[in-house]
Amino acid sequence: MSQHFPKDFIWGSATSAYQIEGAWNEDGKGPSIWDVFCLIPGKVHEGDTGAIACNHYHRIAEDVALMKAMGLKAYRFSIAWARILPAGRGAVNQQGIAFYNKLINELLANGIQPWVTLYHWDLPAALEFEIDGWLGKDIADVFTEYAEVCFAHFGDRVKNWITINEAWVVAILGYGHGVFAPGKKSTDLPYVAGHNLLLAHAKAVALYRTKFQPLQLGTIGITNNCDWREPFTNSEVDKAAAQRALEFFLAWFADPVYTGDYPAVMKERLGDRLPTFTDAEKKLLKGSSDFFGLNHYTTMYAVDATNNKEQGSVYGNGGLSADQDVNLSISPDWKLTDMQWAIVPWGCKKLLQWIAERYNNPPIFITENGCAFDDKLVDGKVDDIERVAFFKGYITAIGEAIDTGVNVQGYFIWSLMDNFEWASGYAKKFGIHYVEKDSLNRIPKASAIWYKGVIDANAV
Ligand code: GAL
C-alpha cells in the first residue's frame, strides 16, 4: 500500500455488547430485546443466542492485551443499556457501572482510546413492554436519562461518544422486515422508529453539550450505515434512482443531523407516513454530530423501477423498496464475502466522496468495515488471505479518497473477535481474532498481524 494516512489517524477495531459480552443475566443485568428475540424459535440461525457469546464480560484483561498486541490505538465498544439500568430507567446497577469502569481503565492503562456507543440495538426489554420501545413517545427522554448516567460515570475518561449505531438497521430490519429485534413487520413503523431514534440522538447530544462537554471536553456523534449505490446505466433515470436510494438509506438519518430535516425526496414520496419535526426539534438536530460516523460494507447497482414495481418489492439491503422505486443488483464479476456481500472497494471511495460533497466535508470516522469468511484453523493458525485482500482493497480506497480531499480521520475494523452475528448466529466469522463460542483461546488471524503492520507503518 502506497498511501500514508494523516499522522493522527485513528486505527481501531470495533465490537458491540450483545455480540461479545455474554453474562446476559449476571451481576444484576436486566434482559434486552435481543435476549428475548433469540429465544423465539426460528428468529436466529440454529437457535443461537448471545447468552455466552465470546464471554468478554469475564475476560477483559486478556482481550485488552490482544488489542495492545495488535497495536490498536482505539477500541469501539457498546454499553449494554440493561446492564446499567436493568429496567431501562430508574435504579442504576452498580455492578454494571463497575464492569465498564474496569474495561475503560484497562484500555487507558494500555494506551487505547475508548470509543463508546450508547445504543447498539440491545434495548432493555422492560422498555419494549412498557413504552413500546422505539415507537413510544417517551423513548427519546428515557434514552437521554440513560445517556446521562453514562456521561456522568464514564465521561471523565471517555472522550468519544456515539449515540446510536445504525438507526437504519434498527428501523428497517427491526420494524420493517422484522428480521431483527423487536421483529415487527410493517411499511410505516420504520419511519416512526427512525424519527424517535433521531430525536433520542439529538436530545442526548444537547444534554452532553450543555452539561458535560464543557468540562469533559469529549466529542459526540452518531454512526450511520450505508452501502454505495452505483447507477446501473448512464441513463438519467438510473442516476436518479441511485441518488434516491442513497437518500432513502443515508440521508434519511444524516440530513436531519446536518440540515435539520429529512431529504425532500422522502417527504414527497412518503407524505404523512413520514413524521415531521417541530422547529425546536429541527434546531436541536441541526449540527448535532461532531463527526460523521460511517459503517460501510458493500455496493449494489441501482436501476430505476418506476415502471417496474413488481421486481422492486422485496430486498433486504436497501430499505423499503416500494417507497423508492429502485431495483438493486450486483455484478457477477464481484467477489462475495460469506454474507453474500459484494467486495467493491471503489464503492467505498465514491460513498466517502458523496458524503464529503453533500455534508460539506465533515470529519469522517469509518466506525465499521470488514468481511465474513469461514476461516479454517490449520495447525493452530488462521491464514485468512481473503480478509487481508479485503482490507488492502478498502484501506487503499480510503487512502485514495483522502488524497482527493475527503476528511477521513479514523478507521475501525469490524470486528475484533468472531462473534454473535445477530440473526445469522455464530455461522459467520467476521473478526480479526478467531474465537469459538466461549473458547479458551483467542487466536490471531493473519489479518490481525497484517493490520498491525499497517498501523505501525503509519505510526506517528
Ligand atoms: C453492522 C452492525 C454490526 C455487525 C456488522 C456485520 O450492521 O453494526 O453489529 O453485525 O454489521 O454484519
> Of the residues 368, 416, 419, 426, which should be mutated to test ligand 1's pocket, given the most ligand atoms within 8 Å of the CB?
368
Report if residue 4 sits inside a domain.
Answer: no
Kindly give the distance from the C-alpha atom of residue 235 to the centroid of ligand 1, in angstroms, as a whole number: 33
Task: State if residue 421 touches ligand 1 by the CB under 6 angstroms criterion.
Answer: yes
For residue 422, give the ligand 1 atom closest to its CA.
10
Inside any domain, residue 204: yes
Between the CA of 305 and the centroid of ligand 1 the distance, in Å, is: 28
Q: Is residue 368 annotated as a catalytic residue, yes or no?
A: yes
Which residue type, as a one-letter code, is found at position 368?
A: E
Please, which residues have CB within 8 angstroms of residue 420's CB and are 6 or more apart in sequence? 18, 19, 20, 48, 49, 50, 53, 54, 426
**Choice among 230, 281, 368, 386 that is catalytic:** 368
User: Is residue 364, in this structure, part of any structural domain at all?
Assistant: yes
- What is the spatial distance between Cα 166 and Cα 413, in angstroms, rounded to a whole number? 16
* Residue 249 φ/ψ, nearest 5 degrees: -95, -65
Domain membership flag for residue 3: no
With contact defined as beta carbons under 8 Å apart, do 216 and 148 qualify?
no
**C-alpha to C-alpha distance for 414 and 13, rounded to whole angstroms:** 6
Q: Is the CB of 169 under 6 A from ligand 1?
A: yes
Is residue 5 in a domain?
A: no
The DSSP code for 381 is: B
Helix (H) or strand (E) holding 200: helix 189-207
Longest C-alpha distance within the chain, in Å?
62
386 is catalytic: no
Q: Is 422 in the pocket of ligand 1 (CB under 6 A)?
A: yes
The one-letter amino acid at 447: S
The answer, yes or no, to whether any atom of ligand 1 lies below 6 A from the CB of 223, is no
Q: What pLDDT tens digit does each residue of the chain (460 aa) get?
A: 556 799 999 999 999 999 999 999 999 999 999 999 999 999 999 999 999 999 999 999 999 999 999 999 999 999 999 999 999 999 999 999 999 999 999 999 999 999 999 999 999 999 999 999 999 999 999 999 999 999 999 999 999 999 999 999 999 999 999 999 999 999 999 999 999 999 999 999 999 999 999 999 999 999 999 999 999 999 999 999 999 999 999 999 999 999 999 999 999 999 999 999 999 999 999 999 999 999 999 999 999 999 876 444 334 445 677 899 999 999 999 999 999 999 999 999 999 999 999 999 999 999 999 999 999 989 989 999 999 999 999 999 999 999 999 999 999 999 999 999 999 999 889 999 999 887 888 999 999 999 999 999 998 6
Cβ of 414 below 6 Å from ligand 1: yes
Residue 411 and residue 366 in contact, taking contact as beta carbons nearer than 8 Å: yes
Residue with cell 428501523: 171
What backbone phi and psi angles, to 5 degrees, belong to 107?
A: -60, -50
CA of 120 to the centre of ligand 1 (A): 9
Residue 309 contacts residue 322 (beta carbons within 8 Å): yes
**Can you tell me the distance from the alpha carbon of 392 to that of 414, in angstroms, rounded to the nearest whole number?**
14
Q: Which domain holds residue 287?
A: 10-458
Radius of gyration for the chain, computed over Cα atoms and rounded to the nearest angstrom? 21
Query: One of 166, 247, 386, 400 is an active-site residue; which one?
Result: 166
pLDDT at 321: 73
314 domain-assigned: yes
The CATH number for 120's domain is 3.20.20.80
Measure 51 CA to ligand 1 centroid, in angstroms.
Answer: 18
- What dihedral angle (degrees, nearest 10) is formed by the CA atoms of 26, 27, 28, 31? -20
Q: Report yes or no on 289 lying in a domain.
A: yes
Q: What is the pLDDT of residue 311?
A: 46
20 residue type, one letter: I
Tell whether 1 is covered by a domain: no
Count of domains forming the chain? 1
